[in-house]
Chains A and B, each alone.
Chain A
């Protein structure tokens, strides 16, 4: 069991948790992920590491409630435990002094961008951060990002905060403004359509772009191949070969199709969860709200 030491509610659907996991905290690097399970009957879900504290032995995750498991996780409070928490998994980000790096975080993708941007900056890069959200209330960690980046641009799709526009709009402005020759690398993490859009844009400029893929997974250690994705025409496992890949080489259409494979089942699970939440709690004192 892994104790939730702290919980922050950024918005009704975006939450942060600090988890006691000394083994993971000791070794994890920016770009890596964990797999967690909330309870005995639960599924294993991958979440990218948002931050860590080696001294305190803690790992921070930020997640958006989309399906049953993330909603159930979101219903837990500080002091509760998650059943399983395994990591660090995946290959760490490749960090070196490239020169100028643009780090783009969309939505909840800002969380995994943060430690990578910080590491880039510590390695001596000039880090231009771009963070965006659909609307103001889904925005979080502007302060942390400002600290991790050399300069930061903020945008909202609906214009409810700072400015109106997609992260790709800002990215294009930055590239045009600084000149593509001045930028060594782009990192883009967020929803798949956003990463795809960023890649389409940077391809035009011939700017190498790293993305962090969020495929379906079971074990997360290269054992099942559920997370396979086509990169440069070759099959790769996101869990061990990734999660970061050269975005210009990723077959995003295939990834989107594979990620949608269990959509009907995910919907059913989420529906059952919502219904059980409406009825009385399960009575076992677990605060699951009746979900198990």
Chain B
């Protein structure tokens, strides 16, 4: 018995309490949420599985350092209000994180229970607490007295929202500038309704507004005003840039501009943000073919492949140049995709997209690959097999091979250092950029990553912005 569990006589339940979910045959016909959430009974039973380790190894896996054993203890004691309060000390978006965090690579990876059995379902418990609060009505949070400082947050994705929440609680006056017509960033345009209901995102954002955060939508920073203008003309004392990875990468193969080829960003934005699945009641259309190929193996690719099925595709294929073991997607998303009938063409990549006389996609010319030596990412690199060319008939292609940083803000900000790839250079420990008073974090710094890492960066930057402003006050 380990030190942490000494003296406890708990009956070990080896498996997580299962997450109730919509039946796969039903759910591919709708956009409702797949995972339905724990009942109170399931949550209590799951909370009982926690060993309450003193060292709490789970916490080291959480980018925002939620006090996990403490909130689970409160769940076990049926003090759900206390539990959500405990989570919110560190996490501004628990209903989102409980749904989309890759817990298997984070908190649950370090769970003591997980060494011999399944780890405690920390994510599911987090979601339970957050949903409990959303259903009951959100409790007001404490806000420090106004400091008189103004902070601009550029982008209302998970990083920007977290940074804004932390700064608002410290008494700063925060305005978020969002380019699209609703706040939420990737939580609204990228992650599908069936994985993260938009009402959940908007409810979390409403909580933020209660902290006094102002949100200006339809505001493209770099266009209506530059960062320099926000600071010099509009009186912002500091700026956080969390503009994400909004630039879609394409394969750069012939035929990629054919009709029926979408970037994952376009495909998902039409469906999620513009609600094309409700066309013609909603005005934005989307066209889905009989057979859809999604290029890539990340979460975005899984989202696109599963969305394609719901839009009525007869076949939805993930075309990935490595094998199943290398899929970067969250484990649960791959499992859900398989359950729903998404097909996988592993070790395959297209070299050309073929179109008919109207420019409409009809097929892809592909090459087969084998795995060679590990590359810089540590994954075995795909090597094309000579002479393995074959044709795959498809009528829709979604390119989901990654996104880069949107250049709009970096290009228009004086004295902001960027990398060769266009990412903003920021100190990971503070979020500070080369420009005084300007901080950055999330995908625009690191390249496309996860919601929770962006939130972690937003939290780190909020701390440094606060320190920067307090220092400014002393010097004044």
Contact = CB atoms under 8 A, between A and B. Distances in A.
B142 interface: no
Contact of A225 (B248, B281, B408): B248
Given A221-B406, A224-B248, A235-B250, A268 B220 contact: no
Contact of A24 (B181, B224, B283, B284): B224
A42 B278 CA distance: 11
A83 interface: yes
Contacts of B281: 41
Contact of A265 (B219, B256, B266, B287): B287
A157 B287 CA distance: 36
Interface in B324-368: 358-359
A89 B280 CA distance: 27
Nearest to A251: B257
A283 to B, nearest CB: 17
Contact of A224 (B225, B269, B279, B280): B269
Interface stretch (A99-107, A147-155, A255-263): A255-263
Interface residues of A, number: 42
Contacts of B246: 221-223
Contacts of A83: 181
Nearest to B190: A223
A261 B218 contact: no
A87 B220 contact: yes
Contacts of B180: 219
Nearest to B357: A257
Contact of B265 (A225, A260, A268): A225
A221 B411 CA distance: 13
B449 interface: no
Contacts of A219: 179-180, 189, 269
B313 interface: no
A258 B359 contact: yes
Contacts of B263: 224-226
Contact of A87 (B224, B265, B274, B285): B224
A140 interface: no
Interface in B359-397: 359
Interface string B294-329: 000000000000000000000000000000000000
A24 B225 CA distance: 9
B67 to A, nearest CB: 36
Given A225-B250, A225-B266, A258-B259, A43 B359 contact: no
Contact of A41 (B275, B285, B359, B407): B275
Instruction: Tell me what chain B mostly uses at the interface: helix, strand, loop, or mixed.
Output: loop
B85 interface: no
A68 B180 CA distance: 22
B285 A262 contact: yes
A240 interface: yes
A85 B274 contact: no
A278 interface: no
A83 B218 CA distance: 10
Nearest to B358: A257
A230 interface: yes
B247 A222 contact: yes
Given A41-B282, A230-B257, A86 B359 contact: no
Contacts of A43: 274, 282-284
Interface in A229-287: 229-230, 235, 240, 254, 257-258, 260-262, 265-266, 268-269, 272
A48 interface: no
B284 A222 contact: no
Contacts of B435: none
A231 to B, nearest CB: 11
A53 to B, nearest CB: 16
B359 to A, nearest CB: 4
B406 A228 contact: no
A27 B223 contact: yes
Interface string B200-221: 0000000000000000011110
A69 B283 contact: yes
Contacts of A261: 259-260, 287
A261 B274 CA distance: 18
Interface of B: 179-181, 189, 217-220, 223-225, 246-248, 250, 252, 256-257, 259-260, 262-263, 265-266, 269-270, 274-275, 278-285, 287, 358-359, 406-408
Interface of A: 23-24, 26-27, 37, 41-44, 68-69, 83-89, 218-219, 221-226, 228-230, 235, 240, 254, 257-258, 260-262, 265-266, 268-269, 272
22 contacts: A37-B181, A41-B278, A44-B181, A84-B218, A86-B181, A86-B219, A218-B270, A218-B274, A219-B189, A221-B246, A221-B408, A222-B407, A223-B265, A224-B269, A225-B265, A254-B257, A254-B359, A258-B259, A258-B359, A262-B287, A265-B279, A269-B283
